[in-house]
Amino acid sequence: MNAELDCYARDMIAAGALFHQRGWVPATGGNFSARLSSNRMLITASGWHKGELTPDAFLVADLEGRPDDSSRKASYETLLHCQLYKMDAGIGAALHTHSVANTLLSMRQSSVRLAGYELLKLLPGISTHDAAVEIPVFENDQDIARLASAIDAHMKKSAAAAYLIAGHGLYAWGSSVAQARHRVEALEFMFECELRKLTLEKHT
């Protein structure tokens, strides 16, 4: 792995360790990627535990999801990363998590409204806590190409800061792995708050 790939891999390894420590990527759940060029990305290979990543856990693929090394298997959800990179040239990394909060909220709601949180300022275009963001929820679909197409059509009509797949998890992105990680942390905190609010409301 050359120096550039190693740098991206180190950042994603650190994100995986942090996310696993916080319970957001159990077992082999989740996947991470970073853009390398206009038509290449570095992405986690299939089957790797995200809390135990090493440089060998990553492969280079094109934006059609085809690994440069045909003997290796990309993540099942690679086309969802491809969709983001094709949609916006400013996206430099995408991270996918499976937390309890994001999974449960996405099973209950067609979108998750986040309002009044200081951490909203980590999302694009927001400079005050006095704001509201709708995080869309897409129905889960084992046909990933079809799911990617549905997400792409929605996002061309309505920009999103991140999205959820029902019962499955969060996709968040940024210009770098660090920015994407910060956004995941902010969103997961707000999702946890929303889940606890639902519990409190039920018992009051």
Looking at residue 78, what is its pLDDT? 96
Question: In this predicted model, what pLDDT tens digit does every residue of 67-100 receive, in sequence order?
Answer: 999 899 888 899 999 999 999 999 999 999 999 9
Query: Could you say which residues of the chain have pLDDT below 70?
Result: 1, 203-204
DSSP 8-state secondary structure symbol assigned to residue 135: E
The pLDDT of residue 1 is: 65
CATH code that applies to domain 3-202 = 3.40.225.10
The answer to whether 60 touches 2, Cβ cutoff 8 Å, is: no
Q: What is the model's pLDDT at position 3?
A: 76
pLDDT at 128: 86
Domain residue extents for the chain: 3-202
Query: For residue 78, which amino acid is it?
Result: T
CA distances from 170 to 1, 25, 36, 51, 142 (A): 29, 11, 22, 17, 16
**Range list of H helices, the chain:** 3-21, 78-87, 100-108, 144-157, 177-202
